Amino acid sequence: MTVHTKRFIVILNAALALMAAATLVRMFTKGGVSFDFHCYYQAGNFIWQGADPYRAFLERKDVDLPIRYLDGVTVTEGPIDPFRARCVAGNTAPTVFLLAPLARFSWDTAHTVWRLLNVLLAFSIAWILLKITGRRTASAEGFLLLLLILVQVSTREALEFGQTSLLVSFCVFASMFLSYHDRNPLRAVASGVLLGFALSKFLLAFPLLLLFLYRRRVLEVAAAVCVQAAGVWGITLLGTDLASVLREYIGIFMRHAGPGTQDGVYLTAGLLKGWQPYSYYLLAAGSLVLGVLLLRWHLRRSAESGGSLQADLVLLTVVMLWNLLVFYHRRYDYVAASSFLALVIFLSGPHYGTVLRTARDRILAYSGAAGILAFWTLPFYRIFAEPAYRGLFNIFTLAALCLSAWILFRLRPGEETDPIRQCSES
């Protein structure tokens, strides 16, 4: 890395640090806007009262009062939090049970704890991606990755709305790290447990499931299925039979992503809105093209057994960006694209040295990546009208998908190094 590059990163880090500090201060001083966390908080209260939270939501029931919380607060009159509207916890049971302990505390306490946990999760995502890419945490590049994650519009919205996207994204990357680094049966099961919790938000986490199926990670997939089965079993202990739990799952899914639900920032709602039903044909055609390209990549890499960590991180990024574009997702789900940020930062590193082979490669890659990251970070939604902003957001995300696919094809078997081993030897 040249002296000029180091200076540029230092200046960029300073600017991003100011943005990150402003983001965190605004989040903790803005007041209660975590409507999405409210759904899980309500669910936890139902669980502690021995009621099936999904049935309660679908039947529009309220929690029983009074409630005495562990922090000394007693609620005798509803609502138990500032949000009067009933909502549905959009994740399957494992995550709902995981967050239930927060419901033993009053809303203000639980809300603050959940916000702090989400900030910690943002730091943890940066840390685990640094582990995957083999870079030191205490480095200028590591600090840059952390700051880029913190200042993304998607991260800011996930923090403000109290969504589970940061939790799911951390589980995805941590699961991948455990599955690829010094894999043994215990680490494989631990990886599968993390995947199982991530699959509570299935539409966001399923790309890792596809990768594990492709790489024949049987233990990981089996453990993930067991986690989801345990969640269903937990709901049956609250008095709901198995068939009813499955019907509730379908009902919850349709409430969030079924016909008539509010558009997310996905391709149909952005670039192709108003072209229905032709938009679905275009999405299918584009997905088929990507599938053919990935098949071609697979045939070129058929000599590899098990896959390499760095190549599969790029592969996961490609599939994740396709998922974010095609399926129902809100903007806060784009925290799962944090792996793209890592790819951009480490393009010049030794394990991606074969990608940028010429000065032209470097100019095209870094200029394109800079435009993508700028649009994902800066508040362009205050400049453009909503339809135009959605279209531009998806154009830049589509550009990120193309750049990631280009990186995937530029990596060559035998030319890559193991970033984790390299980091441990340095």
pTM: 0.91
CA distances from 59 to 53, 229, 241 (A): 10, 24, 16
Please report whether residue 14 resides in a domain.
Answer: no
Please report whether residue 7 resides in a domain.
Answer: no
Q: Among 230, 163, 172, 218, which Cα is nearest to 199's?
A: 172
Tokens 């302990």 belong to residue: 101
Residues 91-107 as b or e (16 or more Cβ within 10 Å = b): bbbbbbbbbbebbbbbb
**How much is the average pLDDT of 177-185?**
91
**CA–CA dist 418, 376 (Å, integer):** 30
Helices (H), 105-164: 107-133, 140-151, 153-161
Whether the per-residue pLDDT at 215 is higher than 70: the answer is: yes
Query: Which range has highest mean pLDDT (26-30, 262-266, 326-330)?
Result: 326-330
Please report whether residue 407 resides in a domain.
Answer: yes
Helices (H), 1-106: 3-29, 35-48, 53-58, 93-99
Give residues with Cβ within 8 angstroms of 28, minimum separation 6.
115
What's the token pair of residue 412?
């060559």
**How much is the average pLDDT of 310-322?**
93
Residue 176's pLDDT is what? 96
Alpha-carbon dihedral sign for residues 181, 183, 186, 189: positive
Give residues with Cβ within 8 angstroms of 79, minimum separation 6.
none
**How much is the average pLDDT of 2-31?**
79
Please report whether residue 91 resides in a domain.
Answer: yes
**CA–CA dist 45, 63 (Å, integer):** 7
* C-alpha 45 chain-centroid distance: 26
Tokens 């870079």 belong to residue: 135
Digit-coded pLDDT (tens) for 253-309 = 777 665 545 556 677 777 776 676 777 788 889 999 999 999 999 888 765 555 678
What's the token pair of residue 154?
């998607």
Give residues with Cβ within 8 angstroms of 130, minimum separation 6.
136, 137, 142, 145, 342
**CA–CA dist 160, 148 (Å, integer):** 17
Digit-coded pLDDT (tens) for 45-84 = 999 999 999 998 888 888 999 999 999 999 998 788 888 7
Start-to-end CA distance of the chain, whole Å, equals 16
Q: Among 417, 387, 337, which Cα is nearest to 166's?
A: 337
Q: Do residues 57 and 187 lie in contact, with contact meaning Cβ atoms separated by under 8 Å? A: no
Residue 418's pLDDT is what? 42
Which range is least confidently modeled, 198-212, 259-273, 289-303, 389-403?
Answer: 259-273
Residue 31's pLDDT is what? 60
Q: Mutual orientation of helices 165-180 and 202-214 as an angle, nearest 10°?
A: 10
Tokens 């029931």 belong to residue: 61
Please report whether residue 9 resides in a domain.
Answer: no
283's enclosing H/E stretch is helix 278-300
Q: Do residues 190 and 162 lie in contact, with contact meaning Cβ atoms separated by under 8 Å? A: no
Please report whether residue 314 resides in a domain.
Answer: yes
Please report whether residue 236 resides in a domain.
Answer: yes
As a whole number, the mean pLDDT across the chain is: 86
* Domain span at 249: 32-425
**CA–CA dist 173, 226 (Å, integer):** 20
Residue 82's pLDDT is what? 82
74's enclosing H/E stretch is strand 74-75
Q: How many domains does the chain have?
A: 1
**CA–CA dist 201, 364 (Å, integer):** 35
3-state secondary structure of 70: coil
**CA–CA dist 421, 426 (Å, integer):** 9
Please report whether residue 377 resides in a domain.
Answer: yes
Whether the per-residue pLDDT at 135 is higher than 90: the answer is: no
pLDDT-derived band at 391, boundaries 50, 70, 90: confident
What are the residues facing 400 on neighbouring strands? Answer: none
